[in-house]
Amino acid sequence: MSTTDATATRPAFGRRLARLGFTLISPRGAVFLLLALLLIAIMVLNPKFGDPGQLIRFIQRVAPVAIVAIGQYFVIVSGEFDLSMGSVVTAQVVIAGNLIGQDDSRSIPVLLFMLAFGAAVGLVNGLVTTLLRVPSFIVTLGMMLALLGAVFYWTGGAATGNPADSFREVGRGGIRDVPVVGIIPWSVLILIVLTLAAVWFARRPFGRMVIAVGDNVTTARYSGARVWWVKTSAFILSSLSATVAGVLLVGYAGVHPSVGNGYEFTAITAVVLGGVALGGGRGWVVAAVAGAFALEALFILLNFAEVPATMRDAVQGVIIIAAVAYSAVTFRAIRSGRTPETSPQPGEPSDLGEDRAALAPQTRTPNGARTTNGGSDAT
């Protein structure tokens, strides 16, 4: 909101302000608007929430969800699903609890093992999806069942003790005695680093490739993309992010076999709230992170508003549908609204030829129809 004020004081940037307003109501920016509204509503109900210390606690709480959303973003934007994330989180939490125990010296080797395990899960997901051509929905569903079953079989269905405190420090500790905020949790730093890394990744050729593959596999293949490797990498990133979330959750919540329950749906919801199209090809990783924040802010708001715990699901359902419907409808409106505006470009040379001008609307119609459908027919 402060950026709006800053630009408003400089009338020379009126155009930029208009563009900002346009971005805020566009599906890409709508999630930031939603997040701001939710945060304001929370602060109205509970003014203490605005304290820097409280805010940083809020970010710490969101960190695992946001990190999982980053991983899910890459998978969804490449046109696939990862339903196994929650089970990966659970598996990693249980592995940490069982293998590290109270032995500090095992922390690093087990951490490396967990990362390798996470990468292996993603590799299997990716290879079965791309090489055996099984729909990722089914692959990761099978992986979810198999992983959860294996973890419970291994532990006998009961949670075992927490790992050594030094390992849990990552999830619950931080840099202490910082002036304004009191404590900067490690998880917040990890989230910032991972978000920056994800933004960097998304801008590199790999990130562009993921979007290209998600938008149209055939075109991407003809343009020389190694589709199987791009999708497999997305799955590996997703499982690795679930691993990191698991490490944070071990510290924050402790070892519990239901700790990763429903994380896959939370992550998908967060990503979709961020305006990322299910079915792939469209989306912005920062918006996906903002989606995770908005979702968690929504839970906190429901908590403060003293909505009965049992009704929270229902309110969440309404808001998800409303947010996605809004973005779907505005996206369509923007598409159809922009078309006449962009075709007669005043600065452009007019010698494009009659045939091209006549061709443009024809090519655009099926294209526009396809992209608006992308939201509903892609699964």
Partner 1 sequence: MKLLRGRRLDNTVIVLLVLIAVMVVGFILVSMAGRNFLSPGNIRDILTGMSVLGFVAIGQTLVILCGSLDLSVPYVVSLASLIAAETMAGDPGKIAQGVLLALVVAGLIGLANGVIVTGLKVNGFIATLGVGLIVSGYLATTYQGTAGSVPREFQFIGATGVGPVPISTIIMVALVALTAAFLRKTRTGHHMYAVGGSQSVARLSGLRVWQPLVIAHVLCSMTAALAGLLLASRLGVGSPTVGSQGGYDLLSIAAVVLGGTLLLGGRGSVWGTLGGVAIFAVVDNVMSVLQVNPFMKDVVRGIVIVAAVALYTGRATERRKARFSPGRAATQEALARDTSMEGSAR
Residues in contact with partner 1 by the rule CB under 8 A? 83, 128, 132-135, 137-139, 141-150, 152-153, 157, 216-218, 221, 265, 268-269, 272, 278-279, 308, 310-318, 320-321, 324-325, 328-329, 332, 366, 369-370, 372-373, 375-379
Residue closer to partner 1, measured from CB, 6 or 321? 321
d(CA 14, CA 2) in angstroms, rounded, equals 16
Residue closer to partner 1, measured from CB, 26 or 372? 372
Q: Tell me the closest approach of the beta carbon of residue 247 to partner 1, in angstroms.
A: 24
Residue closer to partner 1, measured from CB, 17 or 334? 334
Residue closer to partner 1, measured from CB, 13 or 304? 304
Q: Tell me the closest approach of the beta carbon of residue 226 to partner 1, in angstroms.
A: 16
**Structural tokens at position 16:** 């930029």
Residue closer to partner 1, measured from CB, 345 or 376? 376
Angle between helices 14-25 and 27-45 (to 10 degrees): 80
- The number of beta carbons lying within 10 Å of the beta carbon of residue 339 is 14
Return the SS3 of 280.
coil
| Helix ranges restricted to H, 131-215 | 136-155, 165-172, 186-203, 205-215
Q: Tell me the closest approach of the beta carbon of residue 133 to partner 1, in angstroms.
A: 5
Residue closer to partner 1, measured from CB, 181 or 290? 290
d(CA 181, CA 55) in angstroms, rounded, equals 8
The DSSP code for 174 is E
Q: Tell me the closest approach of the beta carbon of residue 92 to partner 1, in angstroms.
A: 17
Return the SS3 of 157.
coil
With beta carbons less than 8 A apart as the criterion, state whether 65 and 246 touch: no
C-alpha radius of gyration, the chain, whole number: 23
Q: Tell me the closest approach of the beta carbon of residue 43 to partner 1, in angstroms.
A: 26
Q: Tell me the closest approach of the beta carbon of residue 376 to partner 1, in angstroms.
A: 6
